[in-house]
A and B are shown apart, each in its own frame.
Chain A
């Protein structure tokens, strides 16, 4: 506790009699202890590595990996380097995390609002959903989903056809994708442009409404026009219609693009598990909005649906977003359980690499730095959001 008016003490830096001197002594001791511990661990590691004749260093990342990876967006073949294999793993992790977050948020909001429903049956079902999914460990749920997928789905040679040329079997879900051509590139560019236009249009419309109190007319036409840009791009590129279609062969379904049952099981397991937590967060967020807000909105004549959409939800969002972000991070970390069901995510590929070349330390350092980077990026984004949200508040 700083005593007011205390003059700057002259004398030795590490004096036991002054508070700041004691603080410096304590920190010096702590630093020395940490260094000593670190040096001891480092020495042990070097001695053990030398005794076991394990190579160390990150040079192995340039060597060819030699193992196949079952699926992924990143094009990979076994002659690619270990570094590329890790990149493929990160790609798979991000793929399942992105799809999982989208699905979990969607389910979580529905179930969370459902728990506050006036209808008792809906309330009970949602409560049952949340309680069951939160109280069973995720890995048990993943195993159950995966076994259900491999045992219950039909054999690959005789899949069930969900839609024309969309096949579901033990091999996974396979669907036709367009063969890449210039027209699709233009369509994608048009899509990007169209989204930007739509965003700009809605911002302008909102500003107009706040200034003049009236929604601009013809707004929908404008938005539609913006959405028509991708179609225009597709037509401009020659309207390619070639599709890579999955066909049933003697063994299985080949062609088209597919997602494996490992991916499906992981996705469904992660999404349902996280949606239970998100439902609780949404519910507590909605409950955190003072009831007076709802009463005032209803007194103004808004319907129950409008109250929820225009008054309660925007205010609840401020309470919901921080824990929601930590749930998204949890989902990304939980995707590491993929190693248990054979989905080739980052941890699974690092596991294989450790078994092939024995360099456990380097591989684990790589995995941890990827996860810490994802964490840091999300924390920074959250910080930006928090500052903006705080500015908005009066």
Chain B
């Protein structure tokens, strides 16, 4: 630009068009969908495909579908639309398994209780001292509602428990029981005793290296051999033990990550104040480490929840197994897609909620972790 003569005001620039607006829907479209030629082409192709597929999908899923449990209407559809009547007919079998029909309010109440308890526990404001005993009471009430035998409730043996309550039970008890074992293993792996380190590392690496199905087979075939001659455990207990021992190894790695993230100065300060090693672990190290890895705990809960679907291989009727039971009916067998969409929706909403919660928690606790004084419960 030519330098202006001293004292003279610079000549005004020739009028230019105002700059393109960088906000608003037009700008968004330009930036996101039509930024350059390949992007525009991709947009057009995908939009064309979506326009073909989406209305047909909506028609199949929603508009033309049959919602009442009317077998004749469903067969008449001839797969041109979804038969949600299958779900309407069999939803109690899918959700509650082979639980006695008349008593199915009990697993429903038990599941709702646990869901409400989870929602309350979700908010960090409720992380107080009474939370652990409260959870023990809730689990006891859950088992009482499901099993019965007291307070006028008829006894329903665990072989008949199934569907969503069974999934919830396996997840919760598996997680709850694996946390203490995982903490012991993690502390052991970082211990100064070589034998403890070796034993923990051996267990963790061996269990993490095998698939969960092998562990379920061990629970199903090998546990009865390992028990003393007179003792007999039913299948549910054995599977819970298998899931617990499997999850404990993963939990140990999660806790170990937390222990490693903690500065060594914490331990040294605790020792210099005069605490023994055990007291230091219990009062200083573990509370901080566990709070650091709470989001990873939620991820472990999520993966345990998804892994419980494997128990259908050892013939337990959790949500997936109960659906296979419902599909055993030769009349309704053809509508397997609607059944799988239904349980996929159940799993998807729960898992999505849990993973979003985990992200929110991590964001929220991120600032907590940097302020140790805020960790006081």
Task: Give, as a whole number of angstroms, the nearest-CB distance from A255 to chain B.
Answer: 32
Most chain A CB atoms below 10 A, which of B206, B213, B306, B320: B213
Contact A140 B46 (CB under 8 A): no
Q: Mark A325-340, 1 if CB is under 8 A from B, else 0.
A: 0000000011011011
Task: Give, as a whole number of angstroms, the nearest-CB distance from B212 to chain A.
Answer: 8
Task: Please measure, in the bound complex, the distance between the C-alpha atom of A119 and the C-alpha atom of B351, giving whole angstroms.
Answer: 27
Contact A364 B218 (CB under 8 A): yes
Task: Give, as a whole number of angstroms, the nearest-CB distance from A265 to chain B.
Answer: 13
Some 5 contacts from A to B, beta carbons below 8 A apart, are A26-B196, A333-B212, A336-B213, A337-B213, A368-B206
Contact A372 B210 (CB under 8 A): yes
Contact A364 B217 (CB under 8 A): yes
Q: Mark A119-149, 1 if CB is under 8 A from B, else 0.
A: 1111001000001101111111001100110
Task: Please measure, in the bound complex, the distance between the C-alpha atom of A137 and the C-alpha atom of B43, giving whole angstroms.
Answer: 31
Whether, in the assembled complex, B290 has its beta carbon less than 8 Å from a beta carbon of chain A, the answer is no
Could you tell me the dominant secondary structure of chain B's interface residues?
A: helix
Number of interface residues of A (CB under 8 A): 53
Contact B209 A143 (CB under 8 A): no
Residue of B nearest to A45 (CB): B225
Whether, in the assembled complex, A65 has its beta carbon less than 8 Å from a beta carbon of chain B, the answer is no
State the A residues within 8 Å of B (CB): 1, 23, 26-27, 30-31, 34, 41, 44-45, 47-49, 51, 117-122, 125, 131-132, 134-140, 143-144, 147-148, 151, 333-334, 336-337, 339-340, 347, 351, 354, 360-361, 364, 367-368, 371-372, 375-376
Contact A333 B210 (CB under 8 A): yes
Task: Please measure, in the bound complex, the distance between the C-alpha atom of A231 and the C-alpha atom of B313, giving whole angstroms.
Answer: 48
Enumerate chain A residues within 8 angstroms of B214, measured Cβ to Cβ. 336, 347, 364, 367-368, 371
List 6 additional A-B contacts (Cβ < 8 Å) besides A26-B193, A136-B351, A368-B214: A45-B226, A118-B39, A137-B310, A333-B212, A340-B313, A360-B222
Task: Give, as a whole number of angstroms, the nearest-CB distance from A289 to chain B.
Answer: 21
State which of B35, B39, B195, B221 has its C-beta within 8 Å of the C-beta of A27.
B195
Enumerate chain B residues within 8 angstroms of A144, measured Cβ to Cβ. 336-337, 340, 344
Whether, in the assembled complex, B211 has its beta carbon less than 8 Å from a beta carbon of chain A, the answer is yes
Enumerate chain B residues within 8 angstroms of A51, measured Cβ to Cβ. 229
The 10 closest A-B pairs by CB, nearest first: A360-B221, A135-B351, A375-B209, A120-B32, A333-B211, A137-B309, A336-B211, A137-B306, A27-B195, A144-B340
Q: Mark B295-324, 1 if CB is under 8 A from A, else 0.
A: 000000000001101101100000010001
Q: Mark B204-236, 1 if CB is under 8 A from A, else 0.
A: 011011111110011001101111110000000
Enumerate chain A residues within 8 angstroms of B42, measured Cβ to Cβ. 119, 121-122
Enumerate chain A residues within 8 angstroms of B309, measured Cβ to Cβ. 137, 139-140
> Contacts A27-B194, A27-B195, A45-B226 hold; do A372 and B206 have CB atoms under 8 A apart?
yes
Contact A364 B221 (CB under 8 A): yes
Task: Please measure, in the bound complex, the distance between the C-alpha atom of A234 and the C-alpha atom of B306, giving whole angstroms.
Answer: 50
Enumerate chain A residues within 8 angstroms of B192, measured Cβ to Cβ. 23
Enumerate chain B residues within 8 angstroms of A117, measured Cβ to Cβ. 39
Could you tell me the dominant secondary structure of chain A's interface residues?
A: helix
Enumerate chain B residues within 8 angstroms of A371, measured Cβ to Cβ. 209-211, 214
Enumerate chain B residues within 8 angstroms of A336, measured Cβ to Cβ. 211, 213-214
Contact B32 A119 (CB under 8 A): yes
Contact B35 A119 (CB under 8 A): yes
Contact B324 A364 (CB under 8 A): no
Task: Please measure, in the bound complex, the distance between the C-alpha atom of A48 and the C-alpha atom of B222, giving whole angstroms.
Answer: 11
Most chain A CB atoms below 10 A, which of B225, B313, B340: B225
Contact B225 A30 (CB under 8 A): no
Task: Please measure, in the bound complex, the distance between the C-alpha atom of A27 and the C-alpha atom of B194, giving whole angstroms.
Answer: 8
Contact A361 B336 (CB under 8 A): no
> Contacts A30-B196, A364-B218 hold; do A148 and B337 have CB atoms under 8 A apart?
yes
Whether, in the assembled complex, B160 has its beta carbon less than 8 Å from a beta carbon of chain A, the answer is no
Task: Give, as a whole number of angstroms, the nearest-CB distance from A339 to chain B.
Answer: 6
> Contacts A47-B229, A119-B43 hold; do A135 and B348 have CB atoms under 8 A apart?
yes
Task: Give, as a whole number of angstroms, the nearest-CB distance from A344 to chain B.
Answer: 15
Contact A119 B33 (CB under 8 A): yes
Enumerate chain A residues within 8 angstroms of B140, measured Cβ to Cβ. none
Task: Give, as a whole number of angstroms, the nearest-CB distance from B294 to chain A.
Answer: 20
Contact B35 A136 (CB under 8 A): no
> Contacts A336-B214, A347-B214 hold; do A140 and B209 have CB atoms under 8 A apart?
no
State which of A30, A139, A347, A351 has its C-beta within 8 Å of the C-beta of B193.
A30
